[in-house]
Amino acid sequence: MRFLLLACLLSLIACAETHEVSNKEPVMPVQKATTDTTTTGEKTVEPNVPTLPKEDSTVTEVSFFAIGDVLFHTPLFKACKEDSSKCNFDYIFAPWKKDIQSADIAAVNQETIFVPREDGYASYPSFGSPEEVGIAEMEAGFDIITHATNHTIDRKASAVDYTIDFWTGKPVLALGIHKTLAGKDSVVVYEKNGIRFSFVNFTYGLNGQKLPSDRPYLVDLLDSNGNWVEMVKKAEASAEVTVAFMHFGTEYVDLPTEEAQTYAELAIDAGADILVCAHPHVIEPYGIYTTKAGNRALVYWSLGNFISNQQDISTNLGGVAKFTVRKVQKENLSRVEVSSASFEGSVTQQEVGNYHAIPLNAYSDSLAERHLLKAKIPELSLKAFEDLFQKNLENAPKCGTENPEKVLPLPIVNFSNVLSDSGKTSP
């Protein structure tokens, strides 16, 4: 049923390239209103604007669920490599499946690219993963797969093409990779529960590798010439809410770097309302971030690893982003806002032939005793994970990130007379 519903939603995707989404009708852009607002920089800011009264109003919500890196090292695909009948990875996501499927939109960062069996699955430094990972992600209930990572062209352009072909015709959105220039220049927009979203996905780089000279559109990069900023602006002009999935930062550092914050500010000032970030392989704070220009957005600085074979306590603690976007509409007035946001811990449980992710609030010392790292790291325990997660939450002020509970709801769009103004399109 979930796939059927998503398939219906995908019919609203605008201008997507044929191999990613076919036979779609274009969606007219929605202009963000400026009534009763002030403008700072390039984005409308709406400080202290009260939410429309809910009495006699139509209230709709869209809930999100997002996880960090699905990073397939050898122990995760070893059995699959030896025996194709063992290529089923549903168990990885099983402890979180109910949460994934209960969200309106669920996203996963697929850190590694897919390759055909005959090309050989591989781990670091040139990852190549079984496509059955993608099958498990669909079975778990994910709607969005982000593929723009530093490992995207580990196995050259042919593996990117193979991955794009795998997702073609599937009821998911695969972001950040393209077979054609037209695909790169398109904006992914679709409507859910009466709210129109646009999605973008960029990576800071490709581990020193370069894109093919004849196919510079293959992966969405945070390029130095600013084309990516223009893409965010285009996305912002095409929808009510822009969600940017960003791959940046420094590995194994628990606070966003200056470079990461610079990228984030550029994205927010260009129109991004929510940033969901990855790459450091450890969690970093989350909350409401305000740019120097005065624009605000919900930012998850790093979700860390969801699944991997990395060997530290910190790289076995991931984060799950949960947030909700709400629209309140009364007659021809409406308002869109981030109404809630939370961050939950997730532990990578490493057991022979059974790597899976467990909610931190369901973890226990008995599970820690079975963890493969326990012999190497005796201090690995429930408390160790809990203390690390708490420290992450307390780190937020160090990167200028406010506690969402003190800020939300965060205004995104405040429409005025959108139904009667001929220059605007009804959301």
The whole-number mean pLDDT for each consecutive block of 10 residues of the chain, a chain of 427 residues, reads: 42 37 34 32 39 72 98 95 91 98 98 97 96 98 98 97 97 96 92 96 96 96 95 96 98 97 98 98 98 97 98 98 95 91 98 96 98 98 98 97 96 59 28
For residues 271 and 293, give the distance between their C-alpha atoms in angstroms, rounded to a whole number.
Answer: 12
Report all structural domains of the chain as residue ranges with CATH numbers, in order of start.
2-416 (3.60.21.10)
pLDDT at 35: 28
pLDDT at 45: 36
Strand, coil or helix: 244: strand
pTM summary value: 0.86
175, 146 contact by CB (below 8 A)? yes
Cross-strand pairs, 198: 189, 242
Q: Which of 71, 51, 54 is nearest to 307 (CA)?
A: 71
Q: Which of 62, 151, 61, 63 is nearest to 115 (CA)?
A: 151
Sign of CA dihedral 253, 255, 260, 262: negative
pLDDT at 38: 32
pLDDT at 394: 97
pLDDT at 415: 57
pLDDT at 53: 58
User: How many CB atoms sit inside 10 A of residue 174's CB?
Assistant: 23
pLDDT at 27: 34
